[in-house]
Amino acid sequence: MPYDPTSQSNLDQVKTNHIHLDLAVDFTAKVLTGSADLEIEAIADQTDKLILDTRYITIHSVTNDGKELAYELKEHDPKYGSALHIRLDRPLSKRERTTVRVGYSTTQDCTACQWLEPSQTVGKKHPYLFTQCQAIHARSLLPCQDSPSIKLTYSAHIHAPLRAVMSAVPTGQDKSTKGNDLTTFKFEQKTRIPSYLIALAVGNLEGREIGPRSTVWTEPEVLEDAAWEFVDTENFIRTGEALLTPYDWGRYDLLVLPASFPYGGMENPCLTFVTPSLLAGDRSLVDVVAHEIAHSWMGNLVTTENWEHFWLNEGFTVFVERKIIGRMKGKEHGDFSAIVGYNALQESVGHFGKEHPFTALCPCLRGEDPDDSFSRVPYEKGFNLLYYLEKHLGGPEVFEPYLRAHVQQFAGRSINTDEWKHFLYSYMTKHHGQEKVDLLNLVDWDAWLHGPGMPPVENQFDDSLARTCTDLSKKWDASRLAGSNNDTSAFSEKDIAEFSTNQTVVFLEELTELQDPMPHGHLDRMDELYQLTTVKNAEVRLRWQLLCLKADYEKIYPEVLAFATTMGRMKICRPLLRSLYKAKNGAELAREAFLKNKTFYHPIAATMISKDLGLAK
Ligand code: BES
Ligand code: ZN
């Protein structure tokens, strides 16, 4: 029986096998209206009720074969929403199935949806809607058993005035009977998925083919750039297939969203959602696509049972992402990314505090909002555990076949850490015998899985790509120390000319982490040589602005405001506004800019920024 502390559904009695959505998109009222048909199956005898998760959804009716069912929408819980209790008209026995139809509308409070005005899009002419359901926002798009322990297929009819796309395969479109000027877009997802992977976007979208199974979708104004940036998509998929199993989802399309999309990428099946900040013009930020492709196996086929084992999604995905990068560009590139990740892990652990329960690989989430526990910990601590196990057990020759077997064993299922570990032991016993089992017994499982803080073992990564950037940051640091006379004449534009984006990022991050801020004269000189203020690359621009903010370098403030109010990816706007808020003469600027632009941000991002700037609890 599945356990999920963040769902109010009766997961012990019922499972959902399929959902059919029939929804009309109303851009004027900013609501979706229609129905969800849930094909449910009793998993216990005498099942006389169905409890669904909802959040800020209005229920119009509940029926079964056209007959009204009694229901009650319980009180709103601030973290988990309102449970919808439905009385079935007769008790179901185990394995008995039936279909329940819920008529409903979303409201403007629904946290899964962002409705954009035309002015908030690239083209400025048409409105736009997109959803973001992970972790527990699917209940704010449709009434459902909003737990990753439940895996279902889905189909949908979306009646919309502009093109609709979903995390499914499109199966056609017709003139809608629901209203003039509406088209019905039809979809089918035939592989079982958890509710958090249901996704919808509607807008002025055009597509261009970029591979044998891939189309990139976006507003026409950025289509050309998007198609150019993501040409490597098919190579990532093939590398993933060579490492694991054949790609199971039919299509792998990409949707490049408007700038308010709050994440870097979201692995919605058949259609990954990505931030437009990846469009660097030099293909330097496409590792995010490799990451989302890796989720096709880790997360989307093999899914965490609940958010306490989120690392089974993200830690495994980062591990596969770095394997893909390693195979395509060389192991040193995968390891360089691991070094960048380790620094980010240190930053997360520092942010929470090294004893904080959320720094454990498997945190307890009873009574918690998974959005609050979100950090680099499941990604990087999870990655480090797998990297350590691979080396400890004898390297890729032993571990890669195991990884494939893990996918074969668990595809289509939701699992927890115990089941993962149990299979690891049984695989090693069966294929390698007692020698590997003895090695597994030497692992400090309790520290890795439940201990707080940094990992109990520090892995050694190939640092050949890190060394040059570390050397340069040391040189800049030394040039402002006593005896050096602030002499910066030894630096030249050539210093970073050969650097990859990631290397420039590491160089700037290392300077930012130094105790003492950089003198303004140094920042002037660095900018003059490396042209950092005008740089377009979002990752480099972010790090340069953070370095300047740390030094209260007021010249950069207008640039920071321009970036943070036009880029809703939380990884970018949150640290910029937080850092401006702390900088000299920055607090009021940060607050004003945020309040003036509040509707630009996705609801999830707006809530977090309000907290960051002391405007909300
Ligand atoms: N699934 C995540 C995004 C996510 C996690 C959304 C939890 C909501 C709740 C996605 O795969 C992801 O990890 N994106 C990263 C990029 C990646 C390269 C680390 C991001 O958005 O930065
Ligand atoms: Zn991910």
Per-residue pLDDT tens over the stretch 83-137: 999 999 999 999 999 999 999 999 999 999 999 999 999 999 999 999 999 999 9
Provide mean pLDDT across the span 453-457.
98
Q: What is the pTM of this model?
A: 0.98
Is 80 exceeded by the pLDDT of residue 483?
A: no
CB of 295 closer than 6 A to ligand 1? Answer: yes
Q: What would the two tokens of residue 580 be?
A: 């401006």
Is 90 exceeded by the pLDDT of residue 484?
A: no
CB of 263 closer than 6 A to ligand 1? Answer: yes
pLDDT digits (tens, 9 = 90+) for 513-572: 999 999 999 999 999 999 999 999 999 999 999 999 999 999 999 999 999 999 999 999
Rounded to the nearest angstrom, the distance between the alpha carbon of 65 and the centre of ligand 1 is 40
Residue whose C-alpha is closest to residue 248's, from 166, 192, 317: 192
Which residue has a Cα nearest atom 22 of ligand 1? 264
> What are the beta bridge partners of residue 47?
92
Ligand 1 pocket mutation pick from 263, 317, 369 by most atoms within 8 angstroms of CB: 263
> Prior bond to 411 cis, omega within 30?
no
CB of 92 closer than 6 A to ligand 1? Answer: no
pLDDT digits (tens, 9 = 90+) for 235-289: 999 999 999 999 999 999 999 999 999 999 999 999 999 999 999 999 999 999 9
Which residue has a Cα nearest atom 11 of ligand 1? 266
The runs of H, that is alpha helices, within 442-586 are 445-450, 464-478, 501-513, 520-530, 538-550, 557-564, 570-582
- Secondary structure (DSSP) of 13-82: TEEEEEEEEEEEEETTTTEEEEEEEEEEEESSTTEEEEEEEESSEEEEEEEETTEE--EEEPPPBTTTBE
Is 80 exceeded by the pLDDT of residue 435?
A: yes
pLDDT digits (tens, 9 = 90+) for 149-186: 999 999 999 999 999 999 999 999 999 888 779 999 99
Is 80 exceeded by the pLDDT of residue 482?
A: no
CB of 135 closer than 6 A to ligand 1? Answer: yes
Rounded to the nearest angstrom, the distance between the alpha carbon of 298 and the centre of ligand 2 is 9
CA distance 296 to 488: 48
CB of 553 closer than 6 A to ligand 1? Answer: no
Rounded to the nearest angstrom, the distance between the alpha carbon of 458 and the centre of ligand 2 is 23
Q: Which ligand is nearest to the CA of 274?
A: 1
Least-confidence region, from 422-426, 587-591, 603-607: 603-607
SS3 11: coil
Binding-site positions for Zn(2+): 291, 295, 314
- Secondary structure (DSSP) of 306-323: SGGGTHHHHHHHHHHHHH
Per-residue confidence (pLDDT) for residue 361, from 0 to 100: 98
Per the prediction, the chain carries an average pLDDT of 97
Atom of ligand 1 nearest to the CA of 374: 7
CB of 223 closer than 6 A to ligand 1? Answer: no
Rounded to the nearest angstrom, the distance between the alpha carbon of 278 and the centre of ligand 2 is 15
SS3 269: coil
pLDDT digits (tens, 9 = 90+) for 14-50: 999 999 999 999 999 999 999 999 999 999 999 999 9
- Is 104 in contact with 60 (CB distance < 8 Å)? yes
- Is 476 in contact with 526 (CB distance < 8 Å)? yes
The C-alpha angle 333, 337, 338, rounded to 5 degrees, equals 115
Binding-site positions: 132-134, 262-267, 291, 295, 314, 569-571
- So which residues are the catalytic ones? 292, 379
Provide mean pLDDT across the span 345-359.
96
CB of 267 closer than 6 A to ligand 1? Answer: yes
Rounded to the nearest angstrom, the distance between the alpha carbon of 560 and the centre of ligand 1 is 24
Q: What would the two tokens of residue 490 be?
A: 């030894």
